[in-house]
Structures are given as C-alpha cells and as structure tokens.
Amino acid sequence: MWLTSAFKTWIGITTCSVGFIGASRMPAILSPLPLTISDMNKLHKWCMNHKYFMIFLGTLLIFIGLMLDYLWGDAHIMALDALYHLFVILGEAIIVMFVLHIIIEEQNHHQHLAITNQILETQTRETAHLFKQLLEDMKEDLFAAFLKDKIPGDLIRVMVESEFFKPTFLRRNMRVDYTFRSLEGNFLHMDSKIEFDLEYVIGASNEMHYPMIFSLSDLPSAKYSFNGAGYRRYSSTGELGEVCNLSLQHFTNREFGEDKEKDNFRLTSPIVMKKNEVIRVFQLLTVKFLLQDTGIVDNFYVNHHTFKTDILVSFPKEYTFNIYPTFPDDDLPAPFALGTSIVYENIRFLVPGQGWGYSIIKN
C-alpha cells in the first residue's frame, strides 16, 4: 500500500516539474492525468512565484530518497531502488532548474537596469538641449510683436476672445527663494519658497474661489515634494494677519488632456476672495536632484499675470548658478550679492507661460 502511495507522490511531483518546463510541451504520455492545460498553466505560474519553495522541495526529495536507501537499501528490492534513484534525480533536477532561473533572472535584472539608466541619461541630455532651444524661441517680446504687427490677425482674434487680456487674478511682488545644499554622493537638495500678493481683479461676482492649481512632475534626475501652503490677509492698515494653512488634494486636470492625478494639485478648500481684495500667499517645495556630469537643469513658469518678481538663490560655493529667461534678456536684472546669496531684483512683468530655466553646475 505504501509503495502505491509513493508512486502516486512521484507522479504528482513529476507533473509539477513538467508544469515548470511548460504546459504547452506536456508529453503525450501524461495526457490521461486529470490535470487540464489550464491547470498546468496555473501550476507553472505558482511554481515560478515560489522558486525558493521549489528549491526546498527538491532538497526534501533528495532527503527522502537518501532515507529510502538508508532504511531499505540492503534489501535490494528493485522497486525501492528505482524509487530512491527517482527521488534523488528529480530533486536534483528541480534544484538545478530553479537555481539557474534565479541566477539568470538576477542577471537580466541588472542588465535591464543598466540599459534603463543609459536611456534616461540620453533622454536627459536631449531634454536639456530642447529646453535651451525652447528658451531661445520664446524670448521674443509678445507685446512688442503685437505692436509691430508681427502676430497674424487670426492669432490676435483668438487672444482677444480668450482670457489672455482679462485675467481673473493678478500676482504682485512675487519672491522666489532657492536654497541649495549638498547631500551624500551625487545628490543636491533644494528648498524652494514662493511668496506673492494675489488680487482678484476681473469677474462678474463679488466673490471668487481661488483653487491654486499647479503641477509637479518628477524627472529622471529630480524628485519633487510639496511641503505646505498658506496665506495671510491684509488689514485695513496694510499689516498682515495670522497665517491660514492650506491642504492640497490630487485631481485629474482634464482641461489640459491629463488623465493622471499624481502630478496635479489644488486646494482641498479654495480661498474665498472678495473683489479687489489682496492676500499674501506662500508655497513650500523641496527637490532632490541627482547631479549629472553636466549639472542639473530645471524651470519655473508663472500661471498668472505677475508684476515685479525677485529671485534669491543660496548655493554652496563649489557650484555655479545660471538663469535662462523666457522673456527678453533686457528685462532680467543683473544679479548682485547679498551675503552668501545672489539676487535678481525686480523682473517687471511676466505673462502666463513665461518664467525662467536655471542650471547649477559643480565647479
């Protein structure tokens, strides 16, 4: 009876081994077994997901075979000798197959990582080149072009019919602080604080909700984190009141054809603003950059008409910082030193979509 049970056990394990090799290649001799092709596929998938268990099973089969030989080897019973050899051979085969699979899988993983890193480096270089070209193309002063009749009439009509010259909100006195500090390895950390006066200027209602919509998109060499936002209202004497902290939520920005939520943010509860009211808004961000041989390149664009912008940059002395405006070069003031920082003061006017790119390179 025990011999029949052992034979059935051997048949089940053999079926499992065949399932690893591939159900579609199952020998015709096993076709009478009750396992279907679908069952074999499931068994194969299970074995692949439990490789270390299969190695343990192979070791267990070898141990069982050796125990059979130890207990009844001297009896010289042909069936037991055959069963002993089958258990040992099958156990060895299972161990070899799955150990080889783990080694090959690990090699493929490292190979895939190397290829992916090479592709990302190439894409980063290409993106930096395209970005530089884009900056050059956008430096034409929009209003100067308008006055000189350089803009086609149909484009002027679209601009007039749009909200381009009828902004609901205006930004004033914006200040952008960049504070860089070195981290271990080739990483550079940046804290960014954006602060500005916001005014509700054009609208039919006496009140308007400000959702503070913006996007953060990670790059191969940069990971962004949002750290907080808030605002303060001005009193009748022009003094700032208490800070009201704001919370954000992800949303799908279908207006721009974006279906992903992870990059788009807006306030959980919009700020309620009265007509011609001015509030002081701030946003806090952090960025972790991976330094390439050519340094890092990033950008900043405004989404509201903005009057008077200051940029303050603090960075380690072993680095060089540069700004590439998307507005006419003449409107970018010359930087001046302020302690360990440099300041670009009083950029007069920015329209939505304008801003600057910046790079930081290790000396």
pLDDT of residue 86: 80
- 69: tokens are 């030989």
Residue with tokens 């998109």: 217
281 in any annotated domain: yes
Give CA torsion, residues 45, 47, 51, 53, to 10 deg.
140
CA angle 343, 349, 353 (to 5 degrees): 100
105 in any annotated domain: no
pLDDT of residue 338: 83
pLDDT of residue 71: 77
27 in any annotated domain: no
pTM: 0.54
Task: Say how far apart CA 26 and CA 312 lie, in whole Å.
Answer: 70
213 in any annotated domain: yes
User: What's 340's domain CATH number?
Assistant: 2.60.40.3680
Encode pLDDT of 41-94 as tens digits.
777 778 777 778 888 887 888 888 788 777 776 667 777 777 777 877 887 788
pLDDT of residue 191: 93
Phi and psi at residue 322, in whole multiples of 5°? -135, 150
- 238: tokens are 């022009």
Instruction: Judge whether 57 and 63 are in contact, CB under 8 Å.
Output: no
Identify the segments of the chain with pLDDT beneath 50: 1-33, 134, 137-142, 144-145, 147-148, 255-259, 261
What are the C-alpha distances in Å from 279 to residues 137, 200, 296?
35, 9, 34
pLDDT of residue 196: 95
The domain tally of the chain equals 1
Residue with tokens 């303060």: 232
69 in any annotated domain: no
Instruction: Provide the domain limits for residue 342.
Output: 168-362
pLDDT of residue 232: 94
